[in-house]
Structure 1
Amino acid sequence: MTRESDVVPGHRAARPGAGHGGAGYDGGGYDDGDRASDAGGGRARRRRRSKKEIALWVLAGSLALTVLAGGVVYYRLNGNISTFDGDGVSKDRPDAAAPDAQGRTPVNVLLIGSDSRDGANKDLGGGVEGGARSDTTILLHVYADHKHAVGVSIPRDSLVDIPSCMLPNKTWTKAQTHVMFNSAFEVGNTVQGNPACTQNTVEKMTGLRVDHTVVVNFQGFAAMTSAVGGVEVCVPKAIYEGDLDPNLGHKGKQIFAQGQQKVSGAQALDYVRLRHGIGDGSDIGRTKRQQAFMSSLIKDVKSKGMDPTTLLPLADAATKSLIVDPGLGSAQKLMSFALSLKAIDLHDMKFLTMPWRYEGARVAVVHPDADQLWAALKADRTLDGQDASASADAQSPAPAASSSAPATPAAVNGAGVRVAVYNGTSTAGLTLKASALLEASDFTVTGKANASTRDHRTTLVQYGPGERAAAQKVAALFPGATLEASSRAGVSLVLGADFAAGDGGSSSDSVPSGPLPTSVSSAARSADDDPCANLSYG
């Protein structure tokens, strides 16, 4: 029998039967009902704690798995991405854009579609064995506010000047004048193409610094369209096998029905590469369909939400066949850039083709319209003349643009005369002004660049053997210009300080004074336009 003195301090002594259904402790503590209740409550609390702990562990585990999975995905994407050699980018480049008052800067991205036959591209209709060409090129200007963007298509057959470019063996080529634009991508004749040379060419032609360059081949393009579940397109008229392959020799079976339809994979590729059977069968018409396709793709991605959930599958498909500049060579950078575009409204995403005209079977750049377009983008002005760097409430329509083409002597007929134009001063924009003068009198400008020396006081016209008469025609447009014979063929115009002082120095770097010419602005397509409108040329 337990005595009072035998009770261990801090413990209650059990009376006979306690814990066996007998009377409870009578010292004012628990009775059996309280004990049972307490035991049940403890189990309930333990169950509640257990459930909370499980939930927390599940949440923590899920987050860990999500982070791990995200890391694995990004690691895989990084492994997919290839970069081209940045050493091939010209050292003589336009300056980077200055930040606006809010510290924001515009971004120029060069998008190149390659027709390389390397690997699986051969099965999708890639180009000539052993090399690659730029099948499609778009210069995408994302404005500083990241609420507007313009994609300018550069026709592959455009006649341009290609500057010195680096070959695979690290040597540099000589500059070329008046050659097809897509030949820049072929320099070096490799299956990867030469993105740096195309970038150099675009920078020289536009005066805009290209911040990033992205090359996607046929395989990557087809995979991207499948990753988003197909893209809605419109076909102006039914298309047959013979339209896709003019060498087939017969009409063949129908490939595309007339009207709207969804395409993906190889069929989507057939759509954007289709030239014949619609309009005049030119690359210009194909460019219009490519712009409509891009609009539809952007619309589809935005409708699903531009977030990693949507973009990662698309990025996984794209990066397997992607070549980018070293500055964009990680999944994080690619994803960050893609997400930076989410605030752009479909109506404010524009597509247009660089001002052009036919020159025989090729395409010539139209000046000064093209020059005004590049100047507007450099000034971060939208196609309607608005300053995208300013806040929305500060924007107001700019005054009407005055004609940029100066008066020219009617007596000068430059038809058939080809002239290279050089700026022999430190005043910017002279070559654009002089080129406008020359082209208004039917001279053909073969190229624009800075002269080797920039201290010319007077304008100089140099000419090769037998070309004095042509040089005299050029000099007639530039009062005070001197003539100089040269052993090198061709006519060159070297602009001096006298031309700069005589209202020739209206800089291309200055802000355009209003909306762009209708030849530019009226041809623009918004990403929310009717998918069946403006799909062909001729």
Structure 2
Amino acid sequence: MTTTSEQPTASRHRRRADPPRRGGSRGGGAGGERKRRPLRTALLVALALVVLGTAGLGWIYLKLNGDITTFDGDGLSKNRPEAGSSKGENVLVIGSDARNDGNSALGGGDKTDIGRSDTAFLMHVYADHKHAVAVSFPRDSLVDVPPCKLPDGTWTKEQHHAMFNSAFAVGETEKGNPACTQNTVEAITGMRVDHTIVVDFKGFAALTDVVGGVDVCLPNDVYQRDLNPKRATRGDIIFHKGEQNVSGQKALDYVRLRHGIGDGSDIGRIKRQQAFVGSLIKQIKSEGLTTTKLLPLAEAATGSMTVDPGLGTADKLISFALSLKDVDLHNTKFVTIPWRYEGERVAVVEPDASELWAALRADRTVDGTDASGAAGKASPSPAASPAPGATVSGDGIAVAVYNGTAEGGLASDAASLLTSHGFTVTGTGNARSQDHATTVIQYGPGKESEARTVAGLFPGAELQSIGAARVNVVVGQSYTASSGASPVPTAVPSSVADHARSADDDVCSNLSYG
């Protein structure tokens, strides 16, 4: 279109220069040509620049498309939460510790080793596109890993009480299994993951180089042995106490560092990673989220990034990044899934975790703000809110329901809710006691998976192991008969919200990181 708009301009200049040629003088004609040449040259140069600029942009897009790697969408679960299970958009970000493709040079280790997820968080972008929250999953969290696809096309059986980062290692391939991690996160949260992005060591280091480094702050000096505990001596200082800018290998060392700061735990490292990502977002937004600024970032990252098929082209990737430009730094929060230590591992704390997912499904922010984007509309009352478990399927699952409160009719109401979702209700009645504050899902041997499916209809319910091989629902006072579900929380639990970090927080705040 640029070429077409230039042509009429050139022809108008020719018409102005034509009359002197009617005098019959060749010299006059020659003189006219000499007067026209500078203008024609300028137009040709301008046209060439436009064409070359467009071609250059096109070349970059082609290069980006060629660099983007997608994982197999056939590996995603066949029993996913429905699209729209939450009002906003959910993006799973996985940091891979795979050593293939030159990553061993940055992270050390055997380049043929299997890939694992070094870090992972689910970014929920609220429907108003002005708020976002990233929820980190500790790598040692004990979770249920649903069936996942192996490289030979077969599917695994569900794993119970497995470490979260083991999902990425299903199939034991060098590049890992991002679809299995996505399946696991969807099963944990009950929310559909719209996009998944996997970044390896090289991509991370290149990204920090392109933005000119990221500001961090350390509470004390850090030595070589803190990064590599197998060293016999303390070694040299690799990070000095205080605020500093890191990029490339130094940035990678910073986010992987576990010892020498705070309590040396993985939870402490997660807090440090959250602070780093917040600082990175601040740096990127300070440059402005435009196509011109995003292209170098995309070029740096795509060569070492794996994405879901929905982000498999440069247009889709950059369009997605631009959709985040209005998310406010202060309203970008970082939290960790509710947790407690279980021996050397990490257990997920209920009902706090279920309340967190329910709040995000309802597009409630950390402080309880309605970020659904419904401008000018009052927040819906709990009774008017859709059931958070609206996508739960109970096909093939038998449940007995008991009323654990003094309020009549709750067992029948809960039974109707279960039946409407395909569960088989074997009977209703009153529980042995009517003082249950919270709904309890009881399960016997081999029934935990079914119990967790039932819990999808009762946010905040507690799971309780019993001796008999059956599943019972004991309805508590938290259940609301008029809504058919527990009230939607107005905010994430205080156990989560009290430790939230904002992207605009001072990099030197909360330096202990554990």
Residues 136-186 of structure 1, C-alpha deviations (whole Å, 9 max, x = no match): 101011111211111111110111000111100010111011111000001
Residues 422-477 of structure 1, C-alpha deviations (whole Å, 9 max, x = no match): 996899xx99x99xxxxxxxxxxxxxxx9995444359966459xxxxxxxxxxxx
Please tell me whether residue 457 in structure 1 is matched to residue 427 in structure 2.
yes
* Closer/same/farther in 2, CA of residues 243 and 301 from structure 1, 3 Å limit: same
- Cα separation, 1, equivalents of 2:309 and 2:69: 9
**Which of 83, 99, 102 is residue 70 of structure 2 equivalent to?**
83
Matches within 5 A, 1:271-310: 271-310=254-293
Sequence identity, in percent?
57
Partner residue, 2:436: none
Please tell me whether residue 114 in structure 1 is matched to residue 93 in structure 2.
no
Secondary structure of residue in 2 paired with 1:146: coil
The code of the aligned residue for 1:175 comes to E
Residues 492-536 of structure 1, C-alpha deviations (whole Å, 9 max, x = no match): 55136x859994879898772422222111211111001011244
Please tell me whether residue 73 in structure 1 is matched to residue 43 in structure 2.
no
**Which of 58, 63, 66 is residue 50 of structure 2 equivalent to?**
63
Secondary structure of residue in 2 paired with 1:70: helix
- Cα separation, 2, equivalents of 1:520 and 1:506: 29
- Cα separation, 2, equivalents of 1:267 and 1:502: 49
- Cα separation, 2, equivalents of 1:80 and 1:506: 53
Secondary structure of residue in 1 paired with 2:330: helix
CA contact (8 A) 1:423 1:454 kept: no
Residues 291-332 of structure 1, C-alpha deviations (whole Å, 9 max, x = no match): 111111111111111112221111111111111111111111
The code of the aligned residue for 2:128 comes to D
* Closer/same/farther in 2, CA of residues 423 and 324 from structure 1, 3 Å limit: closer
Please tell me whether residue 178 in structure 1 is matched to residue 155 in structure 2.
no
- Cα separation, 1, equivalents of 2:201 and 2:341: 28
* Closer/same/farther in 2, CA of residues 122 and 52 from structure 1, 3 Å limit: same
The code of the aligned residue for 2:292 comes to T
Matches within 5 A, 1:33-182: 50-97=37-84, 106-126=88-108, 129-182=112-165
CA contact (8 A) 1:117 1:125 kept: yes
The code of the aligned residue for 1:213 comes to T
TM-score when scaled to structure 1? 0.73
The code of the aligned residue for 2:92 comes to L
Residues 369-414 of structure 1, C-alpha deviations (whole Å, 9 max, x = no match): 1111111111112111122123455467999xxxxxxxxxxxxxxx
Secondary structure of residue in 2 paired with 1:357: strand
- Cα separation, 2, equivalents of 1:202 and 1:507: 27
Moved more, 271-280 or 508-517: 508-517
- Cα separation, 1, equivalents of 2:181 and 2:483: 25
Moved more, 517-526 or 182-191: 517-526
Please tell me whether residue 242 in structure 1 is matched to residue 225 in structure 2.
yes
What is the CA distance between 1:258 and its match in structure 2?
A: 0.4
* Closer/same/farther in 2, CA of residues 398 and 282 from structure 1, 3 Å limit: farther
* Closer/same/farther in 2, CA of residues 356 and 90 from structure 1, 3 Å limit: same
Please tell me whether residue 494 in structure 1 is matched to residue 471 in structure 2.
yes
Partner residue, 2:509: 533
What is the CA distance between 1:279 and its match in structure 2?
A: 1.1
- Cα separation, 2, equivalents of 1:529 and 1:74: 35
* Closer/same/farther in 2, CA of residues 451 and 282 from structure 1, 3 Å limit: farther
Matches within 5 A, 1:429-508: 454-458=424-428, 463=444, 493-495=470-472, 499=475, 503=479
What is the CA distance between 1:339 and its match in structure 2?
A: 0.8
Secondary structure of residue in 2 paired with 1:182: helix
The code of the aligned residue for 1:332 comes to D
Partner residue, 1:515: 491
- Cα separation, 1, equivalents of 2:256 and 2:298: 22
The code of the aligned residue for 1:180 comes to M
CA contact (8 A) 2:225 2:231 kept: yes
* Closer/same/farther in 2, CA of residues 390 and 40 from structure 1, 3 Å limit: farther
**Which of 339, 353, 361 is residue 378 of structure 1 equivalent to?**
361
Partner residue, 2:437: none
Matches within 5 A, 1:410-429: none
* Closer/same/farther in 2, CA of residues 240 and 458 from structure 1, 3 Å limit: same
Report the count of equivalent residues.
Answer: 435
CA contact (8 A) 2:443 2:472 kept: no
The code of the aligned residue for 2:77 comes to S
Please tell me whether residue 196 in structure 1 is matched to residue 199 in structure 2.
no
- Cα separation, 2, equivalents of 1:506 and 1:185: 41
- Cα separation, 2, equivalents of 1:244 and 1:85: 35
Return the index of the structure with the highest Cα Rg. Answer: 1
**Unaligned residue ranges in structure 2 (runs of 5+):** 1-21, 383-391, 405-419, 430-440, 447-464
Secondary structure of residue in 2 paired with 1:346: coil
TM-score when scaled to structure 2? 0.76
* Closer/same/farther in 2, CA of residues 233 and 219 from structure 1, 3 Å limit: same
Residues 113-138 of structure 1, C-alpha deviations (whole Å, 9 max, x = no match): 00011121111125564301100101
The code of the aligned residue for 1:494 comes to V
The code of the aligned residue for 1:237 comes to N
* Closer/same/farther in 2, CA of residues 500 and 352 from structure 1, 3 Å limit: closer
Matches within 5 A, 1:25-40: none
